[in-house]
Structures are given as C-alpha cells and as structure tokens.
Amino acid sequence: MVRKEKFTPLQILALTLFAIYALLPLWWVIVTIFKDNGQLFSTFGLWFGNKSYLSENLNTLFTRQDGIFTRWAVNSIVYAGTTALGSVVVSAMAGYAFSAYEFKGKDALFGLILATIMVPSTALVLPLFLMMQKMGLLNTYWAVILPGLVNPFGLYLMRLFWDAGFPKDLMEAARIDGAGEWTIFQRLGLPLVRGGLVTVGLFAFVAAWNNFFLPLVAVSREDLFPLTLGLSVWNQTSSSSGQEPIYTVIVLGSLISILPLVLAFLTLGRYWQGGLANGAVKG
Amino acid sequence: MVVSRPYLPRTPAVKPSRGTPWLFLSPFLVLFTLFYIAPVMYAGYLSLFIKKRAGFGAAKEVFGGMANYVRAFQDTEFLSSLLNILKFGVVQIPIMMLVATALALVLDAAKNRLQGVFRTAFYLPYTIPSVIAGLLWGYLYSKNLSPFNQIVTALGGGRVDFLGSDIVLWSIANIVTWTWTGYNMITLYAALQNIPTDLYEAARIDGASPWQLTRDIKLPLLKPSLLLVLIFSIIGTMQVFAEPFVLRPLGYVPDNITPNTYLYLVASRDGNFSYAATLAILLAIFTFLMSAVFLRFTRRGGEL
C-alpha cells in the first residue's frame, strides 16, 4: 500500500493550522450569538461573555419588522428548492440528449453552452433586469427562479454521469423490446444516474441559496427577499447612524441561514465529492 | 427510417426519429436562449447607444456606435478597477492553488479517520454564501470589535484597519481564499484518489522516493484538475462582487474596487444601463481571453 496508516506530526500540524483558519470565523459566530451588542464590543471576541443573550437575540431576530426573517427563510427555501428541482429535470434531459444520441451540430452546440460558463453574471443580470422590467416580471418569484433553471455546469456534469452510468446497448435492447424513447429515459435511464441527479441538484441548490446579485437586481420588495439579501440590508441599516445596531442578531440570522447548507453537505457530501472528481478528471 | 431486415427473427428496433434528441433538449434550449443568449445579445445592442442630455430635458438614448467602448478605454475608474482585479488575481489565485495542492497531497498521504474530519472542516467555508462570509469577516475586520485587533492590542501593538483603503483589497482576497481553498482542495484530492494504485506500485518497485512519486506521478496526473481550478478561479475573480458590496457599510471600500462593483454603481446610481452593458461585455471578453490564453498556453506547453 502506498497510503500509510498515519500522518506524520508535520502533516498533522499543517492540516490543523488550516482547519483552525477554516473554522475560526464559525467559532466566532457560535460565541457571538450569545452576546448582546454591548458585549460584542466589550468582551474578547473569541470567548463567551458572562451572560447569555441568546434568547433576546432569537426574539429580536424573529419579531423584528413583524417577523420578516421567517418570510426571508421561506423565500430562500422556495427559490433554492424550485431552482434545484427544475434545473435537475432540465439538465438531466439535455444531458441525456447529448450522451445518448447523435445529431447534427452536437459538438458545436455543446461547446457553445460550455463557453457561456465564462460569461460574468453581471453581463446576464443587467440586461435581464431591463428585459424582465418590460415583461413585468420584476418583483415576482419567477424573476429569481427562472434564470437559475439553466445551468451550463449542471448540464456538463449530467452528461458525464450519463456517459459513465448508462450503457448504450441497454438502449438498443429496450428499443428491440418495443420501449419508446421517453420510457427508456425515464424508467431505464434515470434510476441509473441517481447519484448524478443528487449531485447536480445539490450544486444548483447551493448556487441558488447563495445567489445575491440576481435577487439584488430583480426584487426590491422586502417581502420577496431571500435570506442573503435581507441580512445584507439589515447590515446596511444597522451600520447607518440613528439606528440601534443589531450586529449579534445579524450574526445569529447568518448562522441560521447557513445551517441547511451545512446539513446538506454533511449528509450528501459524498455525492458532491464524486461529482467534483468526475468533473475535474474529465475536464 | 425503418430498414427491413427479413432474416432477423425479432422485429427490428424502431430507430428514433431525427427530432427525438431535440425534444429532450428543448426545455434547456428554450431557457438557455431566453436567459443566456438573449441577454448577451441585448447587452451588445444596448452598448451601441449613449445617453444624451439636451438642455434641461431628460436624457435620451441615441445611437452612439462604438462611443461607449471608446469611453470605457479612457475611463480611469474602470481601468483602475481592472488593475485592482488583476493585482488581486495575480496574488490570490497562486496562493490559493498552492495551499490547496499542498493540502490535497498531504491529505492523500495517509488513510485514517482523521482524514474525514479534516476534509469536512476544509470544505465547510464553501457552503457559506459569499454575502454571509463577507458579513462575518466584515465584523472580524471591524476596527472596534475585531478579535484580531484585541489580540494585537493586548500584546502591545497598534490597531490594524483591515477595511482601510490601502489593504481592503487584500482583506477581500482573504475572504475569497477562505471560501474557496477547501473546495479546490477537495477537487484536487478527489483527482488524486482516482489515480490507480498499480501506478504507485510500479514506481515503488522501481525504488521511487515519496518526493519522486509526487513529482513524477501525482503532479502530472493532477494537471487537468489544476487547469480546471485555475480557469474557474479566473472566472470567479473577474466577478468578485458580494464581498466588497457587503463590506461597504462597514468601512471605506472604493466604488471601483472590482469591475463588478463599479458596473453596479454605473447602473444603479447613474442609471446608465447602456454604459454598464458595455462594461459587462468588455468584462466577458477579458474573461474569455484570459481563460483562452491559459488553455492554449498549457496545452502547447505539454507539461505544467
């Protein structure tokens, strides 16, 4: 075996140092949600204060502006959930077309789609803003969901999963048995690329949950904000003069907003890593 | 097209019609056209118009040809935003890739339970939205409550203003490094795990040292993954927006710290969408050129 059983002390040291760097801000978050704003400035940042203000912070978080934080959380779930589901369906079908069929212009089309990964999101979102304004889509759920449904990277990953997981002889055999093309895709194909569906869905969910620029431009009504946008607006108003700062409440809100993603990765992380390995090796 | 083959005992498979793949592609292609192709074309169209103000009347959009592009190349604010992001990329990307590669190699060296713990710790930052990462680090940087400053002052040093205009670019670089190093490390680590063990065995029999193993087997096989990480890092760097945007209320962050923050201000503050569209197109072209240069460069060079 090439891989040894144990790390050398030097290796452990390097890994530990980086782990501290990665986890330090999260530790600060855990400590800070127990503080009030006064303690935030008066106590040591990396350790707890002498009194817990967690319940006060929770109370402020969920009652401020008539409990709009809950609304933002629901919005985030709707945006990310719908985007993930929709983009899995769309990418699975398109990836299947590229993997299972031969057709004219296939390579050129695939190349064109991949090239758009390089287009900065601002180059898309700015004109989209004007287009959606004309179509009356601004300040609707659709404005945030629809653009996220197409995901060139998701299509690329999905094609790799179809290439690797779906033998073409199976397709021929099913055709001989008289199965239609859609039946082959749905009944025979989809179960074979289940891992790919989870991977692509996970990527799309994270991308939608983290999206900031699109909602920033597409929705201006506070009750349509996702968590990212809402918390950033609270940070802005909290920092301007004349307002009582609520930094520790924002930190608590931040922690709650990242929990779903952390949980998703702790439970589905193996799919995600598999996806990365596939994408990277063949890329 | 059904070709009859009378000697086959079973009925021949019905060949799918030529339109079938396009039916599977249609949802993607419709959305792709609406939300990728159309906006890019529209941005290109918009960029040909300029805002003209006549007297006290409202500004009008009139055809300006390449005027916006000429303006962009003379716009010192835009050019310095490009310079900023170039400085950022030249420093941040190599550091991040070096650390990610080193960590992936170290993590790949042994196989035990610790490995999983470290892996989880490393990729946790990636799951945190860049806005939230910006907020959290913004507080950690803030002059009056930064624990780093608390430690420095306790040791007798002076406070550092992480959000001061001269170092804020590097404070942002740190947030990006924090978010993405672990993610890239996992990509590289996964590629290392995919290297077949018999390659190692063969090298072992030839008496290769661990360092030779790394240099002659692991690094060359990592090349495609490294290239992928590099290209995605370039694309990501050109688009840095959320971190500087949320840091703005907390400290002094110049309007044009990145091309995207400048572009956003041109659109939202000045309402000049045609000029913003021009900048967006230029940014897309720069990103494309930069990625193409690296792809060409590494392909022709053969070895990294």
Q: Is A40 on the interface with B (CB under 8 A)?
A: yes
Chain B from 204 to 233: CB within 8 A of any A CB: 204, 213, 224-225, 227-229
- The answer to the question of residue A28 being in a domain is no
- The answer to the question of residue A199 being in a domain is yes
Left (φ > 0), alpha (ψ -120 to 50) or beta: where does A221 sit?
Answer: beta
Contacts of the segment A38-41: beta carbons below 8 A, 24+ positions apart: A39/A248, A40/A247, A40/A248, A40/B145, A41/B144, A41/B145
Q: Is A212 on the interface with B (CB under 8 A)?
A: yes
In whole angstroms, give the CA distance from residue A205 to residue B175.
22
Distance from CA of A45 to the nearest CA of B (A): 5
Q: Which residues of B touch A283 (CB under 8 A)?
A: 224-225, 227-228
Q: Which residues of B touch A147 (CB under 8 A)?
A: 35
Query: pLDDT at residue A282 above 50?
Result: no
| Tens-digit pLDDT profile for residues A216-227 | 999 999 999 999
- The answer to the question of residue A24 being in a domain is no
pLDDT over 70, % of chain A: 93
Instruction: Kindly report the average pLDDT of chain B as a whole number.
Output: 87
Q: Which of B32, B189, B238 to mutate to test the interface with A (most CBs of A within 10 A)?
A: B32
Closest CA to B280 of A128, A216, A219: A128
Q: Is A108 on the interface with B (CB under 8 A)?
A: no
pLDDT value, residue A283: 36
Closest CA to A118 of B66, B294, B84: B294
Q: Do B140 and A254 touch (CB under 8 A)?
A: no
Residue of A nearest to B31 (CA): A150
Query: pLDDT at residue B237 above 70?
Result: yes
DSSP secondary structure string, B7-69? T-SSPPPPPPPTTHHHHHHHHHHHHHIIIIIHHHHHHHHHTTEEEE--TTSPPEEEE-TTHHH
Angle at A250 between CA A247 and CA A254, to 5 degrees: 140
Q: Do B20 and A181 touch (CB under 8 A)?
A: yes
Q: Do B114 and A12 touch (CB under 8 A)?
A: yes
Instruction: Kindly report the average pLDDT of chain A as a whole number.
Output: 89
In whole angstroms, give the CA distance from residue B246 to residue B298.
36
| Tens-digit pLDDT profile for residues B155-208 | 888 888 898 888 999 999 999 999 999 999 988 998 888 888 787 788 878 887
Q: Is A235 on the interface with B (CB under 8 A)?
A: yes
pLDDT value, residue B295: 82
Burial class (CB in 10 A: 0-12, 13-18, 19+), A64: middle
In whole angstroms, give the CA distance from residue A23 to residue B124.
8
Q: Do B39 and A123 touch (CB under 8 A)?
A: yes
- The answer to the question of residue A103 being in a domain is yes
- The answer to the question of residue A26 being in a domain is no
Query: Given pLDDT bands bounded at 50, 70 and 90, which one contains residue A1?
Result: very low
Left (φ > 0), alpha (ψ -120 to 50) or beta: where does A66 sit?
Answer: left
Q: Which residues of B touch A229 (CB under 8 A)?
A: 131
Closest CA to B250 of B105, B131, B78: B131
pLDDT value, residue B304: 37
Q: How many contacts, defined by CB atoms under 8 Å, are there between A and B?
A: 293
Bridge partners (DSSP) of residue A4 are: B110
Q: Do A147 and B35 touch (CB under 8 A)?
A: yes
Q: Do A232 and B31 touch (CB under 8 A)?
A: no
Contacts of the segment B149-155: beta carbons below 8 A, 24+ positions apart: B150/A44, B150/A45
Query: pLDDT at residue A145 above 90?
Result: yes
Residue B261: CA count within 13 A, CB half-sphere: 24
The residues, ordered by sequence, that sit 6+ positions from B280 with a Cβ below 8 Å of its Cβ are A120, A122, A123, A126, A127, B43, B263
Q: Which residues of B touch A266 (CB under 8 A)?
A: 120
Alpha carbon of residue B187 to chain centroid: 14
Name the one residue in this structure whose structure tokens are 């059983």. Answer: A5
Query: Given pLDDT bands bounded at 50, 70 and 90, which one contains residue B302?
Result: very low
Cβ count near B159 (within 10 Å): 13
DSSP secondary structure string, A83-115? HHHHHHHHHHHHHHHHHH---TTHHHHHHHHHH
Q: Which of A244-248, B15-19, B182-186 has the lowest mean pLDDT?
A: B15-19
pTM for this predicted structure: 0.90
Q: Is A240 on the interface with B (CB under 8 A)?
A: yes
Q: Which residues of A touch B136 (CB under 8 A)?
A: 25, 28-29, 251, 254
Bridge partners (DSSP) of residue B63 are: B49
Q: Do B131 and A228 touch (CB under 8 A)?
A: yes
Q: Which residues of A touch B207 (CB under 8 A)?
A: none
In whole angstroms, give the CA distance from residue A14 to residue A160.
34
Q: Do A45 and B145 touch (CB under 8 A)?
A: yes
Bridge partners (DSSP) of residue B62 are: B50
Q: Which domains does chain B have, with CATH numbers?
A: 67-301 (1.10.3720.10)
Closest CA to A40 of A23, A57, A24, A55: A57
In whole angstroms, give the CA distance from residue A197 to residue B58.
52
pLDDT value, residue A212: 93
> For the residues A13-41, what does the mean pLDDT come to?
92
pLDDT over 70, % of chain B: 91
Chain B from 49 to 78: CB within 8 A of any A CB: none
Residue of A nearest to B131 (CA): A228
Q: Is A27 on the interface with B (CB under 8 A)?
A: no
Alpha carbon of residue B76 to chain centroid: 24
Residue of B nearest to A261 (CA): B127
- The answer to the question of residue A57 being in a domain is no
Q: Do A118 and B291 touch (CB under 8 A)?
A: yes
In whole angstroms, give the CA distance from residue A25 to residue A45.
10
How many domains would you assign to chain A? 1
In whole angstroms, give the CA distance from residue A188 to residue A100.
13
| Tens-digit pLDDT profile for residues B30-52 | 999 999 999 999 999 999 998 77
Instruction: Kindly report the CATH number assigned to the domain that includes residue A72.
Output: 1.10.3720.10
- The answer to the question of residue A171 being in a domain is yes
For residue A115, the one-letter residue type is: A
Residue A44: CA count within 13 A, CB half-sphere: 9
Q: Is B191 within 8 Å of B225 (Cβ atoms)?
A: yes
pLDDT value, residue B15: 72
- The answer to the question of residue A184 being in a domain is yes
Which among B16, B249, B260 is the nearest to A235, CB-wise? B249
Structure tokens at A142: 């659709």
Closest CA to B13 of A189, A181, A96: A181
**Domain of A202, in residue numbers:** 67-282
Structure tokens at A205: 């969910």
In whole angstroms, give the CA distance from residue B215 to residue A81.
44
For residue A139, the one-letter residue type is: N
Query: Given pLDDT bands bounded at 50, 70 and 90, which one contains residue A275?
Result: low
In whole angstroms, give the CA distance from residue A225 to residue B73.
36
DSSP secondary structure string, B134-201? HHHHHHHH-TTT-HHHHHHHHTT-PPP-TTSTTTHHHHHHHHHHHHHHHHHHHHHHHHHHTS-HHHHH
Query: Given pLDDT bands bounded at 50, 70 and 90, which one contains residue A6?
Result: confident
